[in-house]
Amino acid sequence: MALAGGTIVVCMFALALLAPLVARDPGAIDIARRLQSPSWVFPLGTDDLGRDVLARIFYGARISLLVGFVAVGISTLIGILLGALAGYYGRWIDALIMRFVDIMLCFPSFFLILAVIAFLEPSIWNIMIIIGLTSWMGVARLVRAEFLSLRERDFVLAARALGARDSRIIFRHILPNAMSPVLVSATLGVAGAILTESALSFLGIGVQPPTPSWGNMLITGKQTLGTAWWLSAFPGLAILITVLGYNLLGEGIRDALDPRLKG
């Protein structure tokens, strides 16, 4: 699974990086070629403004990957810091942080994102920050659980006996040993962030046209679904394949890092 998922992820990275070299201008309008079905000239057809769908999917991959990695980076950083503090110090610090996590988990993440975006200007940077700030709770709980287990190990007790500061014990000794579940969670989180961005763009409050995004390409295709099926089919397929790739990669990494599965 990891090999299949990794292959898909690498291919998507290649498409995103090579888009300026292998694809047409995604914003080039040619009304004379509007709504052309897939052909040798336009392998995935054209949209209602005559723009190349293949080029827009290539450039949309850049948006999706950027949103996925930046949002997951923000959520992972917050989750690691709060989870490490809760798991290492325990007591009232643990109780305070975990109650805050419980409060955040009470709100459906997608509707919380919608509520926040309603007060902000829709932009790719706002989308990345908001997704990151509303999806760190799972990472915090994973890191806390690992710290609760690791803080009583002999190597931590030895570091304390040598007079190591708490910050050094947390970031130098315990955190590297607690990163396996975080890595799996981050990989799966990229897929979730891509889906969230696509859903927001589909609703018209995510990445704004003319910037190509798989989500806003879907809403364009929805308007001509009966006559131009390719406008919805290919962006939807791109989302499906990318999310599947990250999910397979995450599951494969989890299986590889889980000692209970090694025999």
**Dist. CA 158–CA 239, nearest whole Å:** 49
| pLDDT at 72 (0 to 100) | 92
Identify which of 257, 247, 258, 127 has the alpha carbon closest to the alpha carbon of residue 187.
247
Chain position carrying tokens 């009583």? 152
* 178 falls within a domain: yes
* 113 falls within a domain: yes
* 97 falls within a domain: yes
Residue 74: CATH number of its domain: 1.10.3720.10
What is the rounded average pLDDT of the residues 229-256?
88
Write the DSSP symbol of residue 209. T
**pLDDT-above-90 percentage for the chain:** 15
Chain position carrying tokens 């709770």? 137
**Dist. CA 195–CA 197, nearest whole Å:** 6
Whether 259 shows a pLDDT value over 60: the answer reads no
Q: Cβ(39)–Cβ(230) under 8 Å? A: no
What is the total count of domains within the chain? 1
* 101 falls within a domain: yes
Token output for 96: 């305070």
* 39 falls within a domain: no
pLDDT digits (tens, 9 = 90+) for 53-71: 898 999 988 888 888 899 9
Token output for 170: 């947390």
| Bridge partners, 46 (sequence order) | 52
**Dist. CA 194–CA 124, nearest whole Å:** 12
pLDDT digits (tens, 9 = 90+) for 76-112: 999 999 999 998 888 899 999 999 999 888 877 788 7
* 164 falls within a domain: yes
pLDDT digits (tens, 9 = 90+) for 12-34: 888 888 888 877 888 888 888 88
* 30 falls within a domain: no
* 37 falls within a domain: no
Q: Cβ(183)–Cβ(199) under 8 Å? A: no
Identify which of 200, 162, 180 has the alpha carbon closest to the alpha carbon of residue 256.
180
Q: Cβ(157)–Cβ(219) under 8 Å? A: no
Whether 263 shows a pLDDT value over 50: the answer reads no
**Dist. CA 163–CA 44, nearest whole Å:** 64
Q: What are phi and psi for residue 46, nearest 5 degrees?
A: -125, 160
Token output for 263: 């025999």
pTM (2 decimals)?
0.85
Q: In which domain, by residue range, is 104 found?
A: 2-16+50-261
Token output for 187: 């990989």
Q: How far is CA 139 from the centre of its chain?
A: 13
In whole angstroms, how large is the CA radius of gyration of the chain? 22
pLDDT digits (tens, 9 = 90+) for 109-143: 788 788 777 777 777 888 888 888 888 998 999 99
Identify which of 210, 219, 209, 253 has the alpha carbon closest to the alpha carbon of residue 239.
219
Write the DSSP symbol of residue 205. S
